[in-house]
Structure 1
Amino acid sequence: MPSHLLIGQTLSFTADPFALPPEEAARHQSRGAVLIENGRIAAIGEADALARAHPGAERVDHGEALISAGFIDAHVHYPQTAIIASWGKRLIDWLNSYTFPEEMRFGDADYAAAVASRYFDLVLAHGTTSVCSFCTIHPESVDAFFSEAQRRGLRVWGGKTCMDRNAPDALRDTAHTAHDQSLALLKRWHGVDRLSYAITPRFSPTSTPEQLEALGALWAAHPDCAMQTHLSEQREEVAWVAELFPQARDYLDTYERFGLVGPGALFGHAIHLTGRERARLRETGSALIHCPTSNTFIGSGLFDTAARKREGQIVGLATDTGGGSSFSMLRTMAAAYEIGQLTGTALHPAQLWWLATQGSARALRADHLIGNLAVGMEADLVVIDLASTPAIAQRAARAENFWEALFPTIMMGDDRAVREVWAGGKRVVAKAAGQ
């Protein structure tokens, strides 16, 4: 495989920008370069020096465009691609009116494959190189997701969504089938190429204690897998969980008592948490996944990113397609900023970018592989035009520093800002200027 030298501005992180002053945690080079060899980052540094040191590398000069780690979307529902931006529902009504009818279609392997292909086309066009997705109850939906990701050389996580109550009959399994089908899919896909399995109870209201126990046992047997679910998204949901699990101390306890809390656990939303829940999530090394466009679109509430980070939580960022209203992690960063303002903290551009890259990678226990520009990391990269529209360009032109130049793209950028995408050292998206 030939080596490539990508030249442009570069942005990498040496620390968590919530733990140190953001400008100290991030490293920006105005004329930097990234050397890609054998699917990994072989060097990062000053452009002229790397060009002299590697004269045989194929050079791609992006001028003032920004080279970054690819975006990582830590909580999605790829089967909801076709129902994104559906009108007027809150969580339970959303599931019954839109989600469940659409998910019933994924027993058709051809339909699942078509949606998986469309989904990856969309997210790659927005610069997202890794996702962690709920599939449906159907093994066909998992096979479609992993097959398409494998074909494109992507690092992804996914799993069969398990439900044995409070769902249509056509979308229910049992404790036994949830365990056995998840195990079979895990054995088929986990660790193959860049694919990882995520054990996936949808959320406590759609799983009996027997099913949660079975999935807890499966995770205990395969702790290198992720475990993804939902937690405390809406107040009505929290009240419903209390009715369904009267012996539980709180919502988190419905997972905790079955071994579904700990490193590798990914809890989507996690807005309305008690003090005990926050303490246990931090103590166990579980991750909270912030889904800002979904939280506003469905009316769930405001996740306080700054407060959760101050108390030591692991926090990732996600679109929550299709409850989330965009496939774009740029739009998701913008929504996280807006929610941060409403909760009392204006998040720094470095903090937003970190959440969408290294923060999500850390939540997925993959920050040693993806999410940063560093030697040895897998070469999943995005090249961002920081003047992609007239509105962005005129604001960026007035910037007095790099962060002022980057912030308009965070707030107003979309797929037009994405110039190139690399996955595993291969260029998978390349756009002409203006596309």
Structure 2
Amino acid sequence: MTQSVFRAQLLTFTGDPAQSPDAAQFHEDGVVIVEDGQVAASGAWSALKERVSDGAQVHDMRDKLIVPGFIDTHIHYPQTDMIASPAPGLLPWLDTYTFPTERGFENEAIAQDTAQFFVDELLKSGTTTALVYCTVHKQSADALFTASEAKNLRMVAGKVLMDRHCPEFLRDTPQTGYDDSAELIGRWHNKGRQMYALTPRFAPTSTEAQLEACEALAKAHGDIFIQSHVAENLDEVKWVKELFPRQRSYLDVYDRYGLLRRRAVYGHCIWLDDEDRQRMAETGAVAAHCPTSNLFLGSGLFDFDKANESQMPVTLATDVGGGTSFSMLQTMNEAHKVARMGGHHLTATRMFWLATAGAAQALDLADKIGTLAPQSEADFVVLDPKATPLLARRTARAESLEELLFAFALLGDDRAVFETYAAGARVHSRESA
């Protein structure tokens, strides 16, 4: 059995650092031993060096830090080419940029080219798993999964469902949306490392008939993911109240159709009330916090204290193209500032947990990703504390793990990612990019 051995500083987690001071496991001289795409062992070099096979190549990177691959829980690959597009708010931004851009994905060549660039951009930023929105076109999902499969990534994605309040050229029907989604589930869910997400865009663009079709698919496939948006923007919240007057809240619309459960991930969750947060905690539905997008579109500030009080699952996400960076490090940067604006101190150690082990736990994938534990899939990132002159100066003065991680989170971006590995294979190298 061929071993790949990586000797470096090592960070992994045994729990939420906000709940346990010992949850972050750091080895200044650590090692990850990979066999057949899985982690065979990880920990201190002194304890594991006898496990290294004779003749195994040891990648000596003791001046760098290995962390589990980042997990981005909310991102739109068709919006790659419209990132950083100006608009006064969410709804006009959708009409002016999003919908016209997504129209192009009826062309398979455009979908394939964008999917390939998108996947490469994720890996460049150290993101090895993402929950991805495609377009209403079935071939857009095929293109994304094909690009992911070629790199052997664990990716979650789905065709968008919209049957009202959108341009005719992007509109499906309850029946076609159901049929296309069922076909894609059959073709891609649990094929290798690919997984499917049922993807109604958001409540205003689906009729009750389409949400009923989503409910039927969710019941028929208990292990697929569900992803949508909720309570991002006050104008949107008001609109949902007009469209669904019988439901108690925006979140309650999804609950009415059985779409709150484990592996259900809702972007934003800014304008929830206490009852909504409690319901998410009860069902295991996940709030994907998208700070760069929320600031860019002026949507509002996510309330970390209320989220913590309710114990609702929370993860971090870029939300490209409303979000302004593919980098989870830059996302941490903005998440910290959003939290501070709400009077909450979000530590770097917890942000790294939210982007790795915490996300994996929330997604029911903790045995596979977000960790360096034995038998997990060997997805990890090699971070370079000397990636830029400023980062090098600051990390050289770091006197604790928190200071080191805080420097990466506040000063880092894709340049800090030296290498990215998926299932033990190198899928990005800064030196050859």
Counterpart check, 1:8 vs 2:8? yes
CA distance in 1 between partners of 2:88 and 2:353 (Å): 31
Q: Name the counterpart of 1:230.
A: 229
Query: Is contact 1:112-1:140 (8 Å) kept?
Result: yes
Q: Which ranges in structure 2 are unaligned for 5 or more consecutive residues?
A: none
Alpha-carbon offset, residue 111 of structure 1: 0.6
CA distance in 1 between partners of 2:58 and 2:136 (Å): 46
Amino acid at match of 2:273: T
CA distance in 2 between partners of 1:252 and 1:53 (Å): 50
Query: Is contact 2:76-2:321 (8 Å) kept?
Result: yes
Deviation sequence 1:216-265 (CA, Å, 0-9, x none): 11111101000000000001100000011111111011111111111111
Alpha-carbon offset, residue 310 of structure 1: 3.2
Query: Is contact 1:298-1:323 (8 Å) kept?
Result: yes
1:134-283 matched pairs, under 5 angstroms? 134-283=133-282
Counterpart check, 1:128 vs 2:127? yes
1:1-150 matched pairs, under 5 angstroms? 2-21=2-21, 24-56=22-54, 57-150=56-149
Query: Is contact 1:228-1:266 (8 Å) kept?
Result: yes
CA distance in 2 between partners of 1:55 and 1:32 (Å): 16
CA distance in 1 between partners of 2:286 and 2:79 (Å): 23
Determine what percentage of the aligned residue pairs are the same residue: 46
CA distance in 1 between partners of 2:66 and 2:306 (Å): 30
Deviation sequence 1:115-168 (CA, Å, 0-9, x none): 000001111011000111010000010000000000110000000100000000
TM-score where L is the length of structure 2: 0.98
CA distance in 1 between partners of 2:231 and 2:168 (Å): 25
Alpha-carbon offset, residue 276 of structure 1: 1.6
Aligned residue for 2:355, secondary structure, equals helix
CA distance in 1 between partners of 2:282 and 2:361 (Å): 16
Higher mean C-alpha deviation, range 366-375 or range 224-233? 366-375
CA distance in 1 between partners of 2:186 and 2:105 (Å): 21
Aligned residue for 1:252, secondary structure, equals helix
Deviation sequence 1:303-343 (CA, Å, 0-9, x none): 12243123211111100011000000000011111111111
Amino acid at match of 1:163: M
CA distance in 1 between partners of 2:88 and 2:95 (Å): 10
Query: Is contact 1:294-1:324 (8 Å) kept?
Result: yes
Aligned residue for 2:131, secondary structure, equals strand
Alpha-carbon offset, residue 432 of structure 1: 2.8
CA distance in 1 between partners of 2:387 and 2:251 (Å): 43
Higher mean C-alpha deviation, range 239-248 or range 391-400? 391-400
State how many pairs are aligned: 432
CA distance in 1 between partners of 2:236 and 2:314 (Å): 22
CA distance in 2 between partners of 1:37 and 1:304 (Å): 42
CA distance in 1 between partners of 2:417 and 2:263 (Å): 30
Alpha-carbon offset, residue 360 of structure 1: 1.7
Deviation sequence 1:272-304 (CA, Å, 0-9, x none): 002221111111111111001000011111112
Alpha-carbon offset, residue 48 of structure 1: 3.9
Amino acid at match of 2:38: R
CA distance in 2 between partners of 1:3 and 1:431 (Å): 23
TM-score where L is the length of structure 1: 0.97
Q: Which ranges in structure 1 are unaligned for 5 or more consecutive residues?
A: none
CA distance in 1 between partners of 2:271 and 2:247 (Å): 16
Alpha-carbon offset, residue 53 of structure 1: 2.6
